[in-house]
């Protein structure tokens, strides 16, 4: 299993796999409900839309696919990356999708699959991407050990977060959008001020790289 995401109501979750499929499971019984087939490479990342009606999968085949969550029907294939897609996320209003690849990151219209933006960076290896709670910014983590924040309407890079000594595998915003947490192969997670880029905390204790980070939905930063 390469990735996991819960539906907003907590009743189902989706997993991505190295066999090229994603599966939808009943969160209470563990029963497999749907198998999403169509990718020809690893499914590295999965996400469920905030309304619970759609699923996005990102694959080593360089495409992302949009699926109907209740039925597993394939709705769209997003093509445009030249390398594998490592991370996918929905905007809070479910109208946009961001895909992070080892070539670039792209923002897409979720209804039509139209490419809206390509995010250019000093590092081409986008390993992790996330929308802010208000949908106005995107956080991205890179192989080179940095992370950045971007404006979603213009694609402008706003802030670079520097401090990790190895690749940044995961990024997440706090529920109020005031903080960003990053997880790295340097065995630390770091918390940053999302407005200034100032490093606020270093979380140490792991004996291996950190593959995933997340905030509690009820977390506060005040």
pLDDT digits (tens, 9 = 90+) for 35-71: 999 999 999 999 999 999 999 999 999 999 999 999 9
Domain with CATH 2.40.128.630 in the chain: 120-222
Reported confidence tier of residue 102, pLDDT bands at 50, 70, 90: confident
Reported confidence tier of residue 221, pLDDT bands at 50, 70, 90: low
Residue with tokens 């593959």: 211
Integer Rg of the chain from CA: 16
Portion of the chain with pLDDT greater than 70, in percent: 97
Q: What's the topology of domain 1-86?
A: Thrombin, subunit H (2.40.10)
What the block records as the tokens of 222 is: 């005040």
Domain with CATH 2.40.10.480 in the chain: 1-86
CB 103 within 8 A of CB 80: no
What value does the mean pLDDT of the chain take? 94
**pTM higher than 0.85 for the full model?**
yes
Quick one: average pLDDT of 4-13?
A: 95
Under CATH, to which class is 120-222 assigned?
mainly beta
Start-end of H helices in 65-145:
none
Q: What is the pLDDT of residue 144?
A: 85
Reported confidence tier of residue 132, pLDDT bands at 50, 70, 90: very high
Is residue 21 pLDDT above 60, yes or no?
yes
Q: What is the pLDDT of residue 109?
A: 97
Quick one: average pLDDT of 106-111?
A: 97
Nearest to 113 by CA among 75, 71, 81: 75
CB 163 within 8 A of CB 157: no
Torsion of CA 81, 82, 83, 86, to 10 degrees: 0
Quick one: average pLDDT of 185-198?
A: 97
What the block records as the tokens of 109 is: 């219209």
């Amino acid at each position: 299993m390469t990735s996991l995401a819960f539906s907003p109501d907590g009743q189902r979750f989706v997993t991505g796999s190295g066999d090229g499929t994603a599966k939808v499971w009943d969160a209470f019984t563990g029963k497999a409900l749907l198998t999403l087939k169509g990718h020809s490479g690893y499914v590295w990342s999965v996400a469920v839309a905030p309304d619970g009606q759609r699923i996005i999968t990102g694959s080593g085949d360089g495409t992302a696919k949009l699926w109907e969550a209740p039925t597993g029907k394939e709705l769209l294939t997003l093509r445009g990356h030249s390398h594998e897609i490592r991370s996918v996320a929905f905007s809070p209003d479910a109208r946009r999708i961001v895909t992070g690849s080892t070539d670039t990151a792209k923002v897409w219209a979720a209804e039509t699959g139209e490419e809206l933006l390509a995010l250019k960076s000093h590092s081409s290896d986008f390993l992790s991407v996330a929308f802010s709670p208000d949908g106005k910014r995107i956080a991205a983590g890179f192989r080179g050990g940095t992370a950045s924040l971007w404006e979603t309407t213009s694609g402008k890079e706003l802030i670079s977060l520097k401090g990790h000594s190895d690749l940044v595998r995961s990024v997440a915003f706090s529920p109020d959008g005031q903080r960003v947490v990053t997880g790295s192969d340097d065995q630390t997670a770091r918390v940053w001020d999302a407005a200034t880029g100032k490093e606020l905390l270093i979380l140490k204790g792991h004996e291996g790289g950190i593959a995933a980070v997340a905030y509690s939905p009820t977390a506060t930063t005040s």
